[in-house]
Structure 1
Amino acid sequence: MPRVLFTAALSCTMALGAFSAQVQAAPNSPFQAPSSTSVGSKTGLAPQPATATAARDRVAHAEDEAKLDLSLRAPHTAPRTQEAATTKLKAQAAPSAQAAAACNTSDFTSRTGSALVTAVKGATVDCVNTLFTLKGTDANKAFREAQMVTIANALRDVAVNYPGNNTTSTAQLVLYLRAGYYVQFYDSASVGSYGTALKNAIRPALDAFYASARSGDVSDANGDILSEAVTLIDSSGENARYLYVVKRLLNNYGTSYDAYWGMKAAVNNVYTVLWRGHQMPEFVTAVQNDTSVLTQMDAFATKWNSKLGGDTGYLVSNAGRELGRFLKDTPIQPTARPLVKHLLDQSQMTGRTAALWAGLAEMASEYDAANCSYYGTCDLSNRVKAAILTVRYTCSPSLKIAAQQMSSTELTATCTSLANQDAFFHNVVRDNGPVANDNNTNLEVSVFDSSSDYQTYAGIIYGIDTDNGGMYLEGKPEVAGNQARFIAYEAEWVRPTFEIWNLNHEYTHYLDGRYDTYGDFDAGQVKPIIWWVEGFAEYVSYHYRGVTYSDAITEAGTHRYALSTLFDTTYDNTDQTRTYNWGYLATRYMLQSHRSDVDAVLAKYRSGDYAGAYTYLKSTIGTRYDTDFYNWLTACNAGNCGSLSNPPVPQCTNADSRQLDKNCGRSNLSAGAGGISYLYVYLPAGTPKLTITSSGGTGNADLYYNYNNWATNTSYYTRSTGPTNAETLTITNPQAGWNYISLYGQQAFSGATVTTSF
């Protein structure tokens, strides 16, 4: 994740607003757009895009942080993906290799009228999916209003005799319309405006579909199409008109739906219709005139309460959350209040019903805070944090952990991993200490016990979006006492192995924000910087852990982006692959092949000269390295990405081989078991922090520090005693003058290096 403002909850998912209200989404549909349809966040009503599959994002992509479906972030966060879900493509939708190869944009941009309808109906669903990415002239040719009217009329015609499956290509027509609304919202200058003509066409189309008896079939075939048709209600902005569909699906839901992915998704998608309907005055008026949808949600959550804690519990908790959201509409509050209280009374903060309780409590706290005593939600954030994050552990003066459940062994291992990463980080970036006016002298790591616990509680406690793999909140580093923190969770899917998901990636954001990028998150967004922010976090995480980034190496073979293009990556124009895979590739290439250019760019980032850094990247470098980068990608994909070894730390030059200095080291240190290699360094008055690192060599040397005499294993101020030679010590406000350092041979060691930076 990027460096995020706590007061503006800004992340890769670009959640807008300090308060993060979410619903949990069902598994992704085979008819949704690919994850590459990511675009920037903007206020107002945006058609719903699609996300990548939960299973792939969370397991195969080892540093996934967020699905970049940014259009759903206004005014609150989007429905999130069900954790246990996997997307499945139906046989009717899965294209053959020949069909995929035959999918051409021109099939849709060069046709009008019946020829366009034939092209859409004859394409695979997978092919129509690609249209979510159209821009410019292609977007206009495919999705201008006349084209959309043509397809809406075609949907009306097939919907009249809808057979409950895709034999009449209903799915392709629905998805084409969804793509059009989506693209037009983000590129209206190219597509043009939508007006009365389209509204008068989409309404009869949806009317006909929902009037069809077969649209209620409980089956795989219908469910896949129905779930997309429910999303189309929201895409077209017809949320008020189709409230009856919302009520129908909630009322008709039964255990038979659970056997079919699409049917569950259709029910869950009604919550998006409700969630975003609040942005439309006509929707609020419709509910005010007929509040039965509120009582329907209360009845649904009450009837299916037993499902909480199970595979379909998200359907129940989402009903509660969206019922609670009606507290924001003053005329509807009198109806909503007792229903919210009713559901709160049948759920609890912890245990099986926690997800229902949390969603209701969050809504009540945000939208009806004056009546918190009625709901039992006063001081909600502090109460939940105290009850859930009960483990408190201090790694060092600059690092502490607040966890839901971690053993002493796990706490120690986490502290060691982060402490040792300090040395790795500083060795790569060669910084000269924190950037000016950065007061983030300590970090809190908040760790939830699982992804579901993170989704249940992190929004309440920290006001963040949780449709991601973790989030770093930088806050305002120029403010004294500002608390930087990142929020993460244990990866329950790899248990019994203990792993905090994205631990080293997120910690890199903290270090990078403190030592490489001046100011807060917003300060760095004046020019494109994401190639470095996310790419470097990936680079450090994979390189430090010694893990091969297989996804990125595979992606290198596509040659999808030129290096000069990657320098323009922003959160508005990116997707998950470009952000992480290609950010890593660009960063690794630059560090290995053009280190002096990286140093020049970092010098500008550190001074806050982001415009100057961008000019350097786009003008001084420009396209000069594009050909070499292309060739490097070919070699990397073939298994030769080049050496990952970092340039050696400069050796200290004082005549006394024991004396260290600023940002340099002493190498080839050795001692026998129980022996000591002594070192010292002189610090000027006012030095805010001294970082000492040891690394390399063989054996096991422990690192010791003392401020008033030689450091030994029996006389020291602080020490680092891990199982290898990789040790780190950070001393805040060290004493001016001579400071003493040593390596003690827990076992005989040789070839070790000690560096100091301050």
Structure 2
Amino acid sequence: MRTFRIPFASATRTLTLLLSFCLALGFLGALAPGARAAAPAGPPTAAGQAKAAKSAPRSTEAAERRKDAAREVRADASKRPPLASGGEPAAVRAQALAAAATCNTADFTSRTGSALVTQIKSASVDCVNSLFTLKGNDAKLAFTESQMVTVANALRTVAAGYPGDDSTSATQIVLYLRAGYFVQWYNPDVVGPYGSSLKSAIEGGLDAFFAAPHAQDVSDANGATLAEAVTLIDSAAENARYLGVVKRLLAGYNSSYDASWWMLNAVNNTYTVLWRGHQNSDFLPAVQADPSVLDTLQSFASRNNALLGGDKGYLVSNAGRELGRFLQYPALQAKTRPLVKSLLDQSSITGRTAALWVGLAEMTDGYDKANCAYYGTCDLANRLRAAVLTVNYTCSSSIRIVAQALTADQLTTACTSLKGQDAYFHGVVRDAGAVAGDNNTTIEVVVFHSSSDYQTYAGTIFGISTDNGGMYLEGDPAAAGNQPRFVAYEAEWVRPDFQIWNLNHEYTHYLDGRFDMYGDFDAGMVTPTVWWVEGFAEYVSYSYRNVEYTDAITQAGLHTYALSTLFDTTYDNADQTRVYNWGYLAVRYMLQSHRADLDALLAKYRAGDWNGARTILKTTIGTRYDADFNAWLTACNGGNCGAPTVPTAPECTGADTRQLDRNCRRSGVAATTGNYAYFYLYVPAGTGSLTITATGGTGNADLYYNGGAWATTGSYTARSTTGGNNETLTISNPPAGYNYISLYAQQGFTGAAVTTSY
């Protein structure tokens, strides 16, 4: 989740849209009420992808850091690739969505007692899974305590003869109970309180299930129910009572589990039980009474060290994190410290075992920092950065790339894409320069070698969430010395092709924050601006790369939202489909169909007049365009979305063809090899930044700038010399008076254009 424009002070508190993301991706069945921060991990290997859909996150610590900040930021979860084959197939998800769509809520809300149990047992798992979304009176009728007691008692009855598969509908019963706890957690005033009656009933049901002989079968059939039952432990806040189940699963794991995604999921879900247990008052006393769970975690990680670096390595690194988390208790430190140290000694800061080392090190840094020398984890964030981010590349005067493993060709490719986007962006938004008080003149682009490396290192180095597709940290643009950056990773799943995931989306956030949105992240969120912030980043990313946004076009055919509704989108009230797909559709429509309104809106955003912008959206526009937007959606879904906005500046009008001016261009520029096309422009005093772009044509033109004399290869203060004619320079605080620009023909060129804006 790049988070759009996060103040650095908030970066360690980041989570966003967890519930919305899980709803949109079909992950609801995995969430316990308390595990609201357990957003799915990224898109790595097949097993890892499947695990992300149904289990605790690969990095549970990242989730914990995020759990209290849902309103602070937004992370680009939708910017991850879809789940791949392996584990839970895409076809299964499609069937699940279809089943959920045909599920009738009234079948559950209108029944009580044995009739309710019969209905649950006769429904599909996916139908029951859809009940996590219930609200209002439906939530109350389905999940009031008396209903939950009935279903918990049914679990005890079914568990008595549990055959090790779903033939007696144990999965549906477990999942219904999980849905009830989840809905009640978020709607306690509507559903009503849960008390001792339910606690007694759920303990009876879970006791019976985990005592059933077939609950220990190693098979897909049992694993599907077992994985949900383990998560139900946390849903019901019975974490302390079932530490024995946690130990049994961790101790019992061996290679026979590897053939079953569900069994792996059941094992991994034990980490949710442990992680969330720390929030329950009875958890620490239970561990103090029997601290053998600490030995179990250490033994599991040590015994399965060979899994690290593979698609099941998350099981080991999560074991290390959950062991290290017990360092927070002085009463357990004497027991925990040597166990943690032993695992640190079995792993290293980089390489195959890095995920275990970093997870443990982060726990020592957070809970036992005074003893960092004992662990060898002092100055952790700086040590990690120095060890991992070893590539430093100056892309331009405003862009620096810091990377883990980019080659020279890959650096050139990324740099060319970023610099070319500058001109495209300015051509679309038609800005007049940076907003007042924005000093973010340079951007640091951090690129990890893979999504796994990102998840391993980025959270500790930058204090961010990593269960996402990248993150932009704006900081305070008015503060001296502030360094904005976005953190991204290579998309290893498209190799041997090279792609930095979300590169252009994230870079748009930087440009938009600098040239369109006054102040910092918090300032821009005082009224709903998400439709623009995310929709525009999507729009530029897809249109600049000339890639069709098929997901958004498919959504257009569903006519889910009116335009006036999309203007109300926030990170709290929307899922990823509304934020990204529908944000894109709203922005594209407004750019193409109502440019004057959009220009007026951007003028308000740039001035920080958020209430004035809101008036334009909700009063001046209101519902006026809803019918036309609806018709446009039909056409767009049918293949006629209209031409994307062409980002062009008007031709400069000065009689001297060498004269440039503010927000204009000279086109048709040409020069023979070794010669120049010269230009100049007058810059007023107090100009914060000057952007110069060269685009189009044939040949190879390099861009040179000089603040006090004609710009040449031997006399310049800035230059851009990539291959071809797409060059960009951003000059901070250019001198007042005449400034000079040239295109040098590294190879003879024709048909180029030079554009200036300040």
SS at the partner of 1:167? helix
Distance 1:58 1:725 in 2: 44
Partner of 2:400: 400
Partner of 2:72: none
Partner of 2:561: 561
Partner of 1:620: 620
Partner of 2:260: 260
Question: Superposition pairs for residues 214-613 of structure 1, below 5 Å?
Answer: 214-613=214-613
Distance 1:524 1:618 in 2: 17
SS at the partner of 1:8? helix
SS at the partner of 2:704? strand
Deviation of residue 309 (structure 1)?
1.6
Alpha-carbon displacement from aligned partner over 1:150-183 (angstroms, at most 9, x marks no partner): 2222222211211111111111111122122222
Q: Give the letter aligned to residue 175 of structure 1.
A: L
Q: Give the letter aligned to residue 453 of structure 1.
A: D
Partner of 2:123: 123
Distance 1:134 1:486 in 2: 37
Alpha-carbon displacement from aligned partner over 1:644-689 (angstroms, at most 9, x marks no partner): 1325323333333332222222334344555543321001223222
Deviation of residue 248 (structure 1)?
0.9
Worse-superposed segment, 184-193 or 696-705: 696-705
1:76 matched to 2:65: yes
> Contact 1:246/1:270 (CA < 8 Å) preserved in 2?
yes
Deviation of residue 741 (structure 1)?
1.8
Q: Give the letter aligned to residue 739 of structure 1.
A: N
Match of 1:35 among 4, 21, 25: 25
Distance 2:106 2:622 in 1: 32
Q: Give the letter aligned to residue 65 of structure 2.
A: H
Question: Superposition pairs for residues 606-685 of structure 1, below 5 Å?
Answer: 606-646=606-646, 648-672=648-672, 676-685=676-685
Question: Superposition pairs for residues 164-183 of structure 1, below 5 Å?
Answer: 164-183=164-183
SS at the partner of 1:486? strand
Deviation of residue 373 (structure 1)?
0.7
Partner of 1:7: 9
> Contact 1:474/1:521 (CA < 8 Å) preserved in 2?
yes
Do the aligned partners of residues 376 and 225 (structure 1) sit closer, same or farther apart at CA in structure 2, a change above 3 Å counting? same
SS at the partner of 1:76? helix
Q: Give the letter aligned to residue 16 of structure 2.
A: M
> Contact 1:47/1:71 (CA < 8 Å) preserved in 2?
no
Do the aligned partners of residues 416 and 574 (structure 1) sit closer, same or farther apart at CA in structure 2, a change above 3 Å counting? same
Q: Which runs of 5+ in 2 are unaligned?
A: 50-55, 68-76
> Contact 1:47/1:181 (CA < 8 Å) preserved in 2?
no
Alpha-carbon displacement from aligned partner over 1:496-542 (angstroms, at most 9, x marks no partner): 22211111111111111111112221222222221111111111111
Distance 1:318 1:355 in 2: 9
Deviation of residue 460 (structure 1)?
1.6
SS at the partner of 1:469? coil
> Contact 1:690/1:731 (CA < 8 Å) preserved in 2?
yes
> Contact 2:632/2:641 (CA < 8 Å) preserved in 1?
yes
Do the aligned partners of residues 326 and 572 (structure 1) sit closer, same or farther apart at CA in structure 2, a change above 3 Å counting? same
Do the aligned partners of residues 12 and 184 (structure 1) sit closer, same or farther apart at CA in structure 2, a change above 3 Å counting? same
Select the structure that is richer in helix.
2
Worse-superposed segment, 198-207 or 738-747: 738-747
Do the aligned partners of residues 47 and 510 (structure 1) sit closer, same or farther apart at CA in structure 2, a change above 3 Å counting? closer
SS at the partner of 1:395? strand
Distance 2:554 2:330 in 1: 53
> Contact 1:683/1:736 (CA < 8 Å) preserved in 2?
yes
Distance 1:458 1:582 in 2: 29
SS at the partner of 1:730? strand
Worse-superposed segment, 134-143 or 174-183: 134-143
Partner of 2:734: 734
Do the aligned partners of residues 92 and 674 (structure 1) sit closer, same or farther apart at CA in structure 2, a change above 3 Å counting? closer
> Contact 1:49/1:182 (CA < 8 Å) preserved in 2?
no
Deviation of residue 136 (structure 1)?
2.1
User: What CA RMSD, in Å, does the superposition of the two structures yield over aligned residues?
Assistant: 3.2
> Contact 2:44/2:493 (CA < 8 Å) preserved in 1?
no
> Contact 2:682/2:739 (CA < 8 Å) preserved in 1?
yes
> Contact 1:320/1:359 (CA < 8 Å) preserved in 2?
yes
Alpha-carbon displacement from aligned partner over 1:163-221 (angstroms, at most 9, x marks no partner): 11111111111112212222222222332222223222211111111111111110001
Alpha-carbon displacement from aligned partner over 1:432-462 (angstroms, at most 9, x marks no partner): 2222222222111111111111111111211
SS at the partner of 2:65? coil
Worse-superposed segment, 132-141 or 100-109: 100-109
Distance 1:662 1:59 in 2: 51
Q: Give the letter aligned to residue 686 of structure 1.
A: G
- The alignment covers a number of residue pairs equal to 734
> Contact 2:100/2:129 (CA < 8 Å) preserved in 1?
no
SS at the partner of 2:10? coil
Deviation of residue 562 (structure 1)?
1.7
> Contact 1:391/1:404 (CA < 8 Å) preserved in 2?
yes
Alpha-carbon displacement from aligned partner over 1:405-453 (angstroms, at most 9, x marks no partner): 1122222222221111111111111112222222222111111111111
Do the aligned partners of residues 558 and 84 (structure 1) sit closer, same or farther apart at CA in structure 2, a change above 3 Å counting? closer
Deviation of residue 569 (structure 1)?
1.5
Distance 1:738 1:348 in 2: 56
Distance 1:103 1:272 in 2: 29
Deviation of residue 623 (structure 1)?
1.6
Distance 2:683 2:95 in 1: 66
> Contact 1:693/1:729 (CA < 8 Å) preserved in 2?
yes
Q: Which runs of 5+ in 1 are unaligned?
A: 17-31, 61-66
Identity %: 64
Worse-superposed segment, 230-239 or 142-151: 142-151
Partner of 2:73: none
Deviation of residue 326 (structure 1)?
0.6
Worse-superposed segment, 411-420 or 499-508: 411-420
Distance 1:525 1:56 in 2: 36
Do the aligned partners of residues 626 and 56 (structure 1) sit closer, same or farther apart at CA in structure 2, a change above 3 Å counting? farther
Q: Give the letter aligned to residue 3 of structure 1.
A: R
Partner of 2:755: 755
> Contact 1:12/1:68 (CA < 8 Å) preserved in 2?
no
Deviation of residue 115 (structure 1)?
2.3
Deviation of residue 49 (structure 1)?
6.8
SS at the partner of 1:659? coil
SS at the partner of 2:656? coil
Do the aligned partners of residues 324 and 56 (structure 1) sit closer, same or farther apart at CA in structure 2, a change above 3 Å counting? closer
Do the aligned partners of residues 149 and 89 (structure 1) sit closer, same or farther apart at CA in structure 2, a change above 3 Å counting? farther
Distance 1:69 1:574 in 2: 24
Distance 1:94 1:555 in 2: 16
Distance 2:401 2:617 in 1: 38
Alpha-carbon displacement from aligned partner over 1:358-415 (angstroms, at most 9, x marks no partner): 1111100111001111111111111111111111122223221211111222222222
SS at the partner of 2:167? coil
Distance 1:92 1:389 in 2: 39
Deviation of residue 97 (structure 1)?
9.7
Deviation of residue 721 (structure 1)?
3.2
1:200 matched to 2:189: no
SS at the partner of 1:9? helix
Q: Give the letter aligned to residue 7 of structure 2.
A: L
Worse-superposed segment, 307-316 or 82-91: 82-91
Distance 1:5 1:650 in 2: 36
Deviation of residue 698 (structure 1)?
4.7
